[in-house]
Amino acid sequence: MAMQSRFAHINLIAKDWRRLARFYQETFGCVPVPPERELEGELLERATGVHGAAIRGGHLGLPGYGEDGPTLEIFEYDHGLDAELRAVNRQGFAHLAFAVEDVKAARELVLEAGGQSVGEIVTLAVSDTHCVRFVYVADPEGNILELQRWLDGPAASAASSSAG
């Protein structure tokens, strides 16, 4: 039997947490959820298993949810480790996905805001009546993002033949 639970947040470890938070606020409309965090000491070391752990950061409310919705937690460690090369097919955490009205326009906004291109915009049929138009991009620190729009009905069948 599964425990009773509710999704709370996703955490990104950043090189510059304020810069990355600003990207998500300006590009996707995320909103700060006070208070900002500055944590260090024995309890944080015990919780993280990181000797000398000291973090700064904050939470951002995700678009499309109310005040009690899940958040994007962005922290910066005083002594962070460099990330391995990120890839869409790497096992473990792969990407954050945002539903958008216009995939092409959203991709351009991400790139203009300092993001990076990962793949091309495509439209794939997932059934006879549903398809998804999407593209993978990365935020300014290389975290992979999926920008997606689901299409239903007769338009879905026609769209599955175009790259959109």
pLDDT band of residue 164 (cuts 50, 70, 90) is very low
Domain range annotation of the chain: 9-77, 96-159
**What would the pLDDT profile of 24-73 be if each residue is shown by its tens digit?**
999 999 999 999 999 999 999 999 999 999 999 999 999 999 889 999 99
CATH 1.10.3720.10 fits 96-159, yes or no: no
Cα–Cα separations (whole angstroms), residue 61 to 30, 70, 126, 144:
5, 7, 30, 19
Pick 91 or 131 by higher pLDDT. 131
- Quick check: 75 and 59 in contact, CB under 8 A? no
Q: What are phi and psi of 68, to 5 degrees?
A: -95, 10
pLDDT band of residue 88 (cuts 50, 70, 90) is confident
- Quick check: 18 and 56 in contact, CB under 8 A? no
pLDDT at 32: 97
pLDDT at 107: 97
Q: What distance in Å separates the CA atoms of residue 98 and residue 145, rounded to the nearest whole number?
A: 7
pLDDT at 93: 82
pLDDT band of residue 87 (cuts 50, 70, 90) is confident
pTM flag (> 0.75): yes
- Quick check: 131 and 124 in contact, CB under 8 A? yes
137 Cβ contact partners less than 8 Å away, ≥ 6 residues apart: 107, 110, 111, 115, 116, 117, 118, 144, 145, 147
pLDDT at 163: 42
Residue 157 has pLDDT above 90, yes or no: no
